[in-house]
Structure 1
Amino acid sequence: MTVAQDTTSAEEYEALRAAVEEFARTEVAPVIGDLYIREEFPYDITAKMGEMGLFGLPLPEEYGGQGGDYYALCLALEELARVDSSVAITVEAGVGLGAMPIHRFGTDEQKARWLPDLAAGRALGAFGLTEPGGGSDAGGTRTTARLENGEWVINGSKCFITNSGTDITSVVTVTAVTGEKPDGGKEISAILVPAGTPGFTVGGKYSKVGWNCSDTRELFFDDVRVPQSHLLGERGRGYAQFLSILDEGRVAIAALSVGLAQGCVDESVRYAGEREAFGRTIGSYQAIQFTIAEMEARAHTARLAWQHAARLLVAGKPFKKEAAIAKLVASNAAMDNARDATQVFGGYGFMNEYPVGRFYRDAKILEIGEGTSEVQKMLIARHLGLR
């Protein structure tokens, strides 16, 4: 696998990829099926990933991180998702939505307080953006926060928030309307709310189609008070800050999607070489061969897309369009490959005991989360000058 231009970096990336691949195969694969059926959060796996340093891959060493980059994180996410997307999204959200906003926009005091535990996987962070009436219209935030006697008083609710209700969740970054802009628009800011703050209630686990080992909750804020110093970044820049975080997250979700797509190929190749029909393995039939060949082509093409976007990101070059392309192409590949893998497995593909059934359930959200496919097309069109 070609992952970098200079030899040293390529060797380091490959060592990381191989280590995560082995971890996913030996530590995740044997247990994740049962956890998934029971809809249990994988605390033991999460702790082990923390010990490996996966939650700190792109974070500075001074805060307990690995001092790596977003490309390294994406490599790890792809390998995890080849086995299970719930585990992969726990890392992606923990890093991209939990730790990165603090790393990018936090004060030295905020970084020192939150990042060491987040980087080590001892704690998880979450980002409360989406609201029941919002979704893609993130600018339609209704949650409010007003300053009163040196404290932010927050009221409102959020939905579909990953990593927000685990036993190790330590902080949620919340976007809220903190005033009005000169042009009459909403002034949206980001505020850090520690877990357990009075008035901050975490709802029960959603009953989901997929990602059953991922923690996803609704959040409620009833006169929640936090110090004024818990403002994250500049007042009124919360929405803009999140958009920049979302651009990075799209590259990460693209890598995760490629992992699922490749996992479908892996399982289909294995099964096609074992399953017999009409006196020979189904992998010897051209129809099956062509199906799996197209699956591999989708995964390969999508991988090139996320790798290109990630290289631009790491190099500090514009990458918004490329991130949108990667997310669109990769999520489509994941969905298409999950459907085809289920078909290759036939009736067994509909059974929870086989990974492809889990892949099929997990794939659809990749076309929705961190920007729907329609939003990606809109962004790409805008970058082409179409208004």
Structure 2
Amino acid sequence: MKTLNGIVRHILRSSKTSSQLLNVSRAQSLSTSPNGPWYDLSEEQQSIKELADKFAREEIIPKAAHHDQTGEWPKEIFDKAWELGLANGMVPIEYGGSGASLFARCLISESLAYGCSGIATAIDGNGLGQAPIVHSGNHQQKKEYLGRCTSEKISAAYAITEPGAGSDVAGVKTKAEKNADGDWILNGEKVWITNCGVANWFFVLARTDPNPKAKKSEAFTGFIVEGDSPGLTRGRKEQMMGQRASDTRGVTFENVIVPKQNVVGGEGRGFLVTMGAFDLTRAPLASAAVGIAQRALDEATRYSLERKTFGVPIVSHQAVQFLLADMTIGIETARMAYMRAVWEMEQGRANTYWASIAKTYAADVANKSATDAVQIFGGAGFNTEYPVEKLLRDAKIYQIYGGTTQIQKMIVAREHINRVR
């Protein structure tokens, strides 16, 4: 089987212009027209999609129900994804990753979530932890921590959320103070942390300016924290409604010593580092939501062609056709939305506005599509022997993590008003 790293290196070998060599993104980017994105996949993009589709079909779908029922973290699947380069797509080539473009990572996320979004989160969670380092880390940090992820089958975690501070990042209470040696002493608690139980290292946001009136752009600092640090304690695995394959836990820090060289992006710049990381991760979250919605549509369509009522397949009934049409419209437009978010970044512009639109819209589409799929299945859709009830449980989290739908709408409104002004 081809690997993502192999595909990307083939792109580099066959590139003919210097612009195609820049961060690999030009060779894998959306082609463009004067009016914006053009959505035909290139040969390289199609190869990446086929790789991810094949992996989802052969490795994820057959085992999804088992991991949903047991809540077992899918180590075997993660290891295979790692071997194919699917677990470290964000990492630049010089640090052992594939250096895949944002669009390539969206294609992969959509395909993996089509198979099982819980298992996809177990794999993609690596990118979430890595994003602040990719965005703002120095060479030594990238060499050590990104390189560790590409040389060993390990995971990283992104620890921001707290009992009293979820989408309100500025409400973080975890604090870090310097000691006499210039290192930092970390104290606090984080909750709902993806990959927490298996993470080799964490990106942690903490308040470093005790002044409650300090600007949020200057009050916080991001740290890389070793998973085996004395004073770091991982909580029990959360029993969740959906995405049960994801290892989600709380973690506490009691006088954890963090070396000064593990500050990411500079002291007091943690909030900006965190926001920059979200720009790299919200489009892939949107694409994963599209993957759930597409799976719901495919399962509902297949069932509607087989199930008969009143002597005909239920797909013959206009009521069912309208449900399928609504799902199709939502999926196609949500896919265009995340592609627009990608395109904005590829033009060298901040994609905050479009990434929040894509994440909000795709999350809603995933939830509606899963709900409509259950409706088309009828009583069977309420039964765990059929796949759509799992899709419905899995879809809900997309309206919550990565910034809730309400937070995304606040961002969109703010960006819109600023543009008008």
**TM-score in same-fold range (> 0.5):** yes
Cα RMSD over matched residues? 2.0
Equivalence map 1:1-387=2 (5 Å): 4-5=30-31, 10-95=42-127, 97-119=128-150, 122-150=153-181, 151-166=183-198, 169-180=199-210, 184-185=214-215, 187-385=219-417
Instruction: Give the residue type in structure 2 aligned to 1:231.
Output: V
Give 1:280 shift. 2.4
Cα displacement string for residues 190-224 of structure 1 (whole angstroms, at most 9, x for unaligned residues): 11111111100000001111110001110101111
Residues 54-63 or 140-149, more deviating: 54-63
In 1, Cα distance between the equivalents of 2:365 and 2:152? 30
The structural deviation recorded for 1:314 is 2.6
SS at match of 1:220: strand
Specify the SS of the correspondent of 2:31.
coil
Give 5+ residue unaligned stretches, structure 2.
1-27, 33-37
Instruction: Say if 1:30 and 1:235 are closer, same or farther in 2 by CA, change over 3 A.
Output: same
1:374 Cα offset (Å):
1.1
CA drift at 1:21: 0.8
Cα distance between partner residues in 2 of 1:3 and 1:293: 30
Amino acid of the residue matched to residue 319 of structure 1? N
Shift of 1:9: 7.3
Separation of aligned partners in 2, 1:75 and 1:360: 22
> Secondary structure, in 3 states, of the residue corresponding to 1:155?
strand
SS of the residue aligned with 1:349?
helix
CA distance in structure 2 between the aligned counterparts of 1:128 and 1:120, rounded to whole angstroms: 23
Partner SS, residue 159 of structure 1:
strand
Query: AA paired with 1:233?
Result: G
Segment drifting more, 313-322 vs 256-265: 313-322
Tell me how far apart the structure 2 counterparts of residues 62 and 185 of structure 1 sit (CA, whole Å). Answer: 36
Question: Structure 2 vs 1, CA of residues 326 and 177 (structure 1 numbering), >3 Å: closer, same or farther?
Answer: same
Tell me the secondary structure at the aligned position of residue 67 of structure 1. Answer: coil
One-letter amino acid matched to 1:102 = I
Q: Tell me the alpha carbon deviations over residues 87-135 of structure 1, each in whole angstroms, 9 at most, x when there is no partner.
A: 222233211x211211222222211111123246711111111110111
Shift of residue 181, structure 1, vs aligned partner: 6.4
Measured in 2, the distance between the counterparts of 1:233 and 1:153 equals 18
For residues 124 and 226 of structure 2, what CA distance do their matches in structure 1 show? 20
Residues 28-84 of structure 1: CA distance to partner in whole angstroms, max 9, x if unpaired? 111111111111111111111111111222321111111221111110000111121
Question: Structure 2 CA distance, aligned partners of 1:119 and 1:325?
Answer: 32
Instruction: Give aligned-pair identity as a percent.
Output: 37
- What displacement does 1:315 show? 2.8
Q: Does the 8 Å contact 2:109/2:120 carry over to 1?
A: yes
Following the alignment from structure 1 to structure 2, what is the Cα–Cα distance between the partners of residues 62 and 197? 28
Residues 343-352 or 236-245, more deviating:
343-352
2:380, 2:221 → 1: CA distance?
A: 49
* Alpha-carbon offset, residue 164 of structure 1: 1.3
1:23 and 1:17 map into 2 onto residues whose CA distance is: 10
What is the alpha-carbon distance in structure 1 between the residues aligned to residue 373 and residue 92 of structure 2?
40
Gaps in structure 1 of 5+ consecutive residues: none
After superposition, the C-alpha distances for 1:218-250 in whole angstroms (9 at most, x for unaligned) are 010111112121111110000111011112221
The TM-score normalised by the length of structure 2 is 0.87
Change (3 A) 1:25 1:9: closer
Greater mean alpha carbon deviation, residues 271-280 or residues 32-41? 271-280
SS in 2 for 1:179: coil
Task: Assess, with a 3 A threshold, how the Cα gap between structure 1 residues 5 and 324 changes in structure 2: closer, same or farther.
Answer: same
Secondary structure of the 1:65 match is coil
Relative to the length of structure 1, the TM-score reads 0.94
Contact 2:279–2:350, Cα closer than 8 Å, also in 1: no
* Distance in 2 (alpha carbons) for counterparts of 1:304 and 1:40: 34
- The structure 1 segments of at least 4 consecutive aligned residues displaced by more than 3 Å after TM superposition are 6-9, 180-186
